[in-house]
Amino acid sequence: MYKLFRHAHPFFDHSSTAVLLDVHHQVLVSSTSGSGAQNGVLRRGRLTIRRDEAKHVVGNILHMNVGDGEHSYSKHSLLQEIAIKKAKPVLEEAIKSMLRTGSAFPKCFNVVDLGCSSGPNTLLTISYIIDAVYRICQQEKLAKTPDFQVFLNDLPGNDCNTVFKSLPVFYEKLEKEKCGFLSSCFISGLPGSFYGRLFPNNSLHFVHSSYSIHWLSKVPDGLMNKGNIYMAKTSCSTVHEAYLKQYRKDFHSFLRLRSQEMVSNGRMVIAFIGRTMIDPSASRDCCYYWEILAKCLYELVDEGLIEEDDIDLFNVPIYTPHEEEVREIVEIEGSFTIDRFEMFQINNDPRDNDTNEDFIFNEIESGKNASNYVRAGLEPIFTKHFGASVIDSLFSKYAKLLGENWLLEKAKNTIMVISLTKH
Ligand code: SAH
């Protein structure tokens, strides 16, 4: 099945182009709640998505804010950078154990970073992987490293132009630092959803993904979540069930697809946002964040800028799982062994003082930092649903409310890092 979409062509510019996307390449932004218009136009003038379209629009619009401007992902990805740095020992250990236990070093080391986005983190991860292989080859007294074939994967709307422009400097640096000992390194962009097949059978040695697979392939079907945009304290239990059902389906197929693409004894290191408590409504690291954003959306309703129906029709296509849920799916899917399962927490304001556990010191700065980080990732889907005119107001309200809340109690993101071996 194919569907005709309008989207920005990833590799050339961000003008609108009609393309055919496989159904696997869709991520949804909006769910239907049973109220509002049946078909036709959802709201007046500002945004005209038909209801059936609203269920199928995000595969082509989900991307982080492009370029390197004030609200770009490139400028606001420090939180994700901290996660990559904290997970580095897990990544190094996985590569080491793979190369030391495999029968022979591969001639060409095939690597993918899934959900690579654009910005300083994209090539940071790749440099960690190359460094790790390089060091092991030196320790093993090999003449040279293998060749590297590196794929940078993200959805088609990702700002690959920015990534590609940074490649010459990256190659130059590699050559300077590792001259003589490093064989060739070939880096390519690979647009497509990681919920679809991306590679031939048995072709990948190492799969990496950071801060990406908490994104679902779509908003769960049939959500009745009035007043909320994610699982919240006031959501009924069917909301958690629907999110969990979608997560089980997505994560299971993610593992199944990767198991087909990876060589036996290949390694996969994935890091994503999770939660510490099984009951999502009791988990401050999970729902709280979105509850505050929903409050800000309601302020926009009071100001007559959006309609209540707009909020009822919107749920974020993200799921932050509990450890038990993750382990259960890996076990049921059956292609991987979990070698390590680590968890750590990062302040929601990545620039905030790490040693103080309880509250923030500067509510204006901290609120702004955290709001900017959420905006850099979510602005495209919020713009598509609520219209561009409300975005500045929405995120400045969000910054203020987050800051006020954290004066009383600080909030943190829980990051799960899992290292897996393909059987
Ligand atoms: N790994 C980067 C980016 C994290 S942001 C970092 O650590 O900084 C999450 C990225 O995942 C976004 O660029 C988003 O477009 C991408 N993403 C989300 N769902 C995806 C999917 N189904 N397939 C491929 N990429 C996806």
> CB-based contacts of 360: which residues, under 8 Å, 6+ apart?
349, 352, 353, 366, 403, 406, 407, 410
Q: 267: left (phi > 0), else alpha (psi -120 to 50), else beta?
A: beta
Question: Residues with beta carbon inside 6 Å of ligand 1?
Answer: 27, 62-64, 77, 80, 84, 114-117, 121, 153-155, 158, 193-195, 210-212, 215
Whole-number Å distance, alpha carbon 88 to ligand 1 midpoint, is 18
Q: Does residue 330 sit in helix, strand or coil? A: helix
pLDDT the model gives residue 35: 33
- In one-letter notation, the amino acid at residue 321 is P
The whole model's pTM is what? 0.86
**Pocket of ligand 1, candidates 23, 74, 86, 117: which has the most ligand atoms within 8 Å of its Cβ, to mutate?**
117
The pLDDT value recorded for residue 360 is 63
pLDDT of residue 389: 94
Dist. CA 63 → ligand 1 center (Å): 7
Structure-block tokens of residue 158: 């990702």
Ligand 1 closest atom vs CA 209? 1
Cα 248 to its chain centre, rounded Å, is: 17
- From first to last of its 423 residues, the chain has per-residue pLDDT tens of 333 332 333 322 333 322 223 333 333 333 333 333 333 333 333 333 333 334 444 566 676 776 677 777 676 677 889 889 999 999 999 999 999 887 678 999 999 999 998 888 999 999 999 999 999 999 988 889 999 999 999 998 888 888 899 999 999 999 999 878 888 999 999 999 999 999 999 999 999 999 999 999 999 998 999 999 999 989 999 999 999 999 999 999 999 999 999 999 999 999 999 999 999 888 778 888 899 999 999 999 999 999 999 999 899 999 999 999 999 999 999 999 999 999 999 887 777 777 766 666 677 878 888 888 888 888 888 988 999 999 999 999 999 998 888 766 777 889 999 999 999
**How many independent structural domains does the chain possess?**
1
Distance (angstroms) between ligand 1 centre and the Cα of 271 equals 11
Atom 22 of ligand 1 has which residue's CA nearest to it?
193
Report the alpha-carbon distance of residue 313 to residue 316 in Å, rounded: 10
- Which residue is associated with the tokens 């009924």? 236
CATH code for position 101: 3.40.50.150
Task: Domain of residue 374: give its range.
Answer: 2-422
